[in-house]
Structures are given as structure tokens and as C-alpha cells.
Structure 1
Amino acid sequence: MLNALWTPTTLGDITLPHRLVMAPMTRDRSTPEGVPTEMNAEYYAQRASHALVITEGTQPSPDGQGYLLTPGLHSAEQTAGWRKVTDAVHTADGRIVVQLMHVGRIAHPDNTPHGRQPVAPSAVRPAGTMFTASGPREMPTPRALTTAEVTATVDDFRRAAAAAMDAGADGVEIHGANGYLVHQFLAGNTNQRTDRYGGSPENRIRFAVEVAAAVADEIGAGRTGIRLSPANTYNDIQESDTHQLYPALVRALAPLGLGYLHLVHFGDEELLDTLRGLWPTALVLNRAGADLPARAQDIADGRADAVSVGTLALANPDLVERVRSGAPLNTPDPTTFYGGGAAGYTDYPTHSG
């Protein structure tokens, strides 16, 4: 069944040699100014044999940052840093898209150079704590964006997408999942607005659709993807109308002709089938916790055009070669997932040496 992974395909304007994609994963190893480094370039180049490399979440503006040492795409220095990464991946014959992620309320001022209060659809404090340089801190109540600021944030995504292309990326993925800003507009507990961005599902999906339209207009729909995670409760998200909300969102996104939808799936097969039927272009599926044969079965059965993997790619820079040859896999080390140096980042061994 793994043979289903190895046929070529396309995600919009991006041609893939096979169907095993590297999922985006925050690694917290950029400079304090959000500039990717030579070590980041090495990390991504090591994994260039994946059909497509999707980068870690990258803030489109200073207010989009919430974690320590995450990269941005809103300054010339950051764009130059990303150019090192894309050049390294392309030299290794890979393809790379930059994921644009605005964290919204999942932030702490201590983790940002500007130290400002986080922004969000509404002033609703998230449960839990945020890791900072001085240890875990309770996340503060965010400031609600004004209607004009929402429009300005859409423009931030547009400018960051243009910067990604200037940096040599093959495309951009919009992070609309996992409880970050786009997802916060979708969910009822985080979006309590009374303007055109709040209330009905049609209003709550508006920000996601406007961001996708702006990015597609800037860099081309065929080089634009979006990641969604229906029913994901991560980062204190509560959805009460998932089966109404996500079909409405996918129907609204479909006319844009985006290159792909990247869906994080938690087991609602009925919803997956519904969204697959509504989506007109390629679908990349991340079936949380599933093994590779199950993921390959999704391709064979037509549920997905490609599948993405996270920690498997993190721990196995040569995952594609290992899976093809039946070689054993490295075990990921969770203690090195976030922050640090080369250990647990660029020093995972390849099977050949």
C-alpha cells in the first residue's frame, strides 16, 4: 500500500515527485530578530527529499509573534535569511513553501521585541501558560482588533506572501489551524465580535477568506495553500458548529482556486468526506497519530492527494529514503523539539551514515 506514496502529483503550480510532505513544525531556532540562520537552512535542506517542505509558522508582522525565536517575514533581514533557506532546499532539489502564521492571542509580550499586548478577534484570555525566557507565564488578555486593524492584518499577510516569493519560496501556506489568529476568528469562544467579522458562520469565515484571497492575488492562487484543523481544541479553542462552519468555509474558499487545502484530521470521517467533496483542487491530509500505511491508504482511496508527517520528518532527515528501502526509523527526542542548537535539530543521523 505504501506504493501509493510514490507517484508524482501537483499542488496547484507546484509539481511534486511523490506524495510524502513534511508538515510545518515550530522549532524556535531563529535569531531574536526573527531572522533564519545557516543552521535553519541546513535543517530544511537535509529534509529536501520530501515531496514538499512546509516551513515552521512564520509571523507576517511583529504582532504576529507569540513564541521565542520564531522567524518572521516582515523585514529585509528576515527575507534575506529565508533566501538562504530556500536556496539550500533548491540546491538539494527540493520544493519549499513558507507557512505564514499570526498567533493572535497565543502570545506573551516577553517573547517579542516590541513587548506589546497580544491582539485577537476579541478580548478573551486563553487558558494556560506560555513559555518565556524567565519560565512559564500566564498568557494575558489580548486586545481586540478594530475593524480597520483586521483589514490591515489582511494586508500584512499579503506583504509577507510577496516577501516569501522574493525570498525564493515556491509558495505560501496560510496557517488557519491549531488555535492561532485565523482559527480564532472561526471559533465562537474566541470570536465574540459584533462587526462584519463576528456572529454568523458567514461572518466568522470572512477573515480567513479575505486572507486567502489577498495572498492568492499577490502570488498566484496556484502557489497558495491553507491549513485548517476542524474540531481541534488546541490552544483553548471551542467550536460548537464545526459541521456547519467548515463546509461554509470550504465553499467560500473553493472559487479562489487555491493550490491546495492542508487538512489536519482528528477522526471525523463524515466531515472529511464532506470537505473532500467540496474542495476542487489538491488536498493534503495530516491524519494525526496514524501510521504510514494508513496515510498511504488515504491516497489510494482518493481521500487525499498527498499526506504530511511531522515528527517522523523531524527525526528522519532521509525519511523518504528510509521508507522506500524499509530501513528503521530514528526515534524523535521531544526534549529538543523547541529551542536549542544543533542537538535534536540537524544532528539526526541518516541511515547511510
Structure 2
Amino acid sequence: MTTFIQLHLLTSYPPANLNRDDLGRPKTARMGGVDRLRVSSQSLKRHWRTSEVFEQALAGHIGKRTKRLGAEVEQRLIDGGVKEKSAREWARAIAEVFGKLQQKGSNYIEQLAHISPEEHDAVFGLADTLVAENRAPTEDELKLLRHAPAAADIALFGRMLADDPGFNVEAACQVAHAITVHRVAVEDDYFTAVDDLNKGDEDLGAAHIGETGFAAGLFYSYLCIDRDQLVTNLGGDEELADRAMKALTEAAVKVAPRGKQNSFGSRAYASYVLAERGSQQPRSLSVAFLKPVKGEGDDAVEALERQVANFDAVYGDCADDRCRLNALNGEGSLDALQRFVAQR
């Protein structure tokens, strides 16, 4: 039976612009007939996997997403003394392993390729061999992709290689877009910048005038981890899977999106976390906030807990075990939460 770990988080952010749309304003979504703030799943995952939390907990097991692999390989070959024309040709052959190239003559991959540490090492190990032997790579040497790369972020969030789907990795973790539990109105911050060397001899006005959108809110976030899929993705390495789940839990609780942080200083930890474990079919608790919450954090916690009880009453126990962290009243701990998600 599949074991699912589900995380439900409530995180309060002061005025901020955490995740911008194409106009530079905070992303929103309409739910329950009202507008909510939104932080996209892509934004959350990007900030978690590139965080110091991941780097410290999973050093050596984090991949790189890039289009520029061919350019790096070409430079490595040129630095090693290979002629530019050969270096470009050989680098293109290596880069094409990870995806279709952008255009004739380019060594940039069309789509971002998520490359594991061992694949990265294999690529540059091959480049060094080509430098030493001054020759093109063989067909056999270009078999650089790995079916079960030991990269925790790839195992958690998956990867797609459109030109070689046999090396795709099914994501073991699903992450919902975070939304506020209440209605919001995006406001505009009108600001000016002053020229420090302007003595007022000619003009006392500002050197720059601008505006930026912002809003504050209490967000509900939801993650679901398929532990068995994660272990499979990591080639059966249960210890690494446990480390990955602990790192993901800490990052989800502590790491804030970096959008406009210098302007708003809106870093925040989760105020409340509910973790659930079991083989039951997963479900989000976002319906608890279909009717917007009007009060404070305690009201959101109460609404979430009430929905948990109601789901259990209707469908039977929706989880085998649960663990809570509540920073509003000082109950629970991150350490206990991490031990819970990694429990076998």
C-alpha cells in the first residue's frame, strides 16, 4: 500500500508582493466568490529547492535546471585546448542528450533540463576525456542520462525530457498553489526616490516616482508526498528519502518566496502545520476556506480542524496518524514534525 504524507500549513505574511504576475502585481485567484492572494506552486518549489535548508540537508543530492549546459561544456573544452569549431560541435552533441537545441549552431537547450549531480559529473568527466584524447565523443559515451538519479529535488518534483521520455521522473510530491483564507484587495504603494546630490537650486522634486502593488494575507498551503514513489525515484535509498522529506518539511515551514523581499521584508514562518500519514486517498483541506475566514489566525485553525473532523465523520478516518505544530499557542515543535514525516 502507498504511504502518503500530507502537510497543511497556515502562514501569515505582512504587506508583500511575494509572487508577481505579468504586470508586476501580486498574483491572485478567485475562490468562494471573492479574490484571494496566490503564490504559485512553481514559485514555492523553486524557493524551497534552492534554499539553504535544502543545500545543508541534501548537499551532493541536488540537481541543476539549465539551458546552458552546452555552453559550459564548450568553454571547458576550449580551456583545455580544443579548437573552437571542434569544441562547439562536441558540446552540441553532449547537450543534445538532454534536449533539442534552440537553433542551428546554438548549444543552448530549448527547454530547461533538470540534470542530476551524477549526470553533471559524467558530462564533465567526458569533456575532460575528450580534451585529453583530442577527439569527438562516441555514441556509447553519450549515454549520459540516468534512470534513477540520486537527486532529491528531481525525485520530489520530477522532470520531463520531451525528447527522451524514458528518462522522465514521476514527481513524488504534489504542491498546491497557496491561497489566502480570506478575501483581499491589492493596494498600490506610491513611492519616490530622492537625488542625494540635489541641493534644490533648480528642482526640489523627486528623482524618481513609481508604484508597486502589495497585499497582506494568511495563506493556506498544501503538499502531498508519495513516500513509496520517492524511495523508488531514489533507487531504493530510504535514508536519502527520509532526509528529503525532512528538508522539504523544514523548507515549507520556514522558507518564504523572495519576491520584493528587499522592499517589504516579509519573511515568515508557518503559524500552524498539520501533518498526516496514511494509505488513504489524499485530499486538500482548502474547502475549509471556501467561505472566507474573517477573524484572526485562531479562526483559520478552527475552520481547518473542523473540516478535518467533518471529513473523518463522513468518509471514515482520512489518516492513520497526525502531528501538529501551533506557533500561535506554542504547541508542538519542528523537530517532532520532521520525525513524524520520516517515520516508517
Tell me the TM-score normalised to structure 2 length: 0.27
Q: Compare relative contact order (CA 8 Å, sep 6+) and give the higher one, 1 or 2.
A: 2
Which one has a bigger Cα radius of gyration? 2
The structure richer in strand per residue is: 2
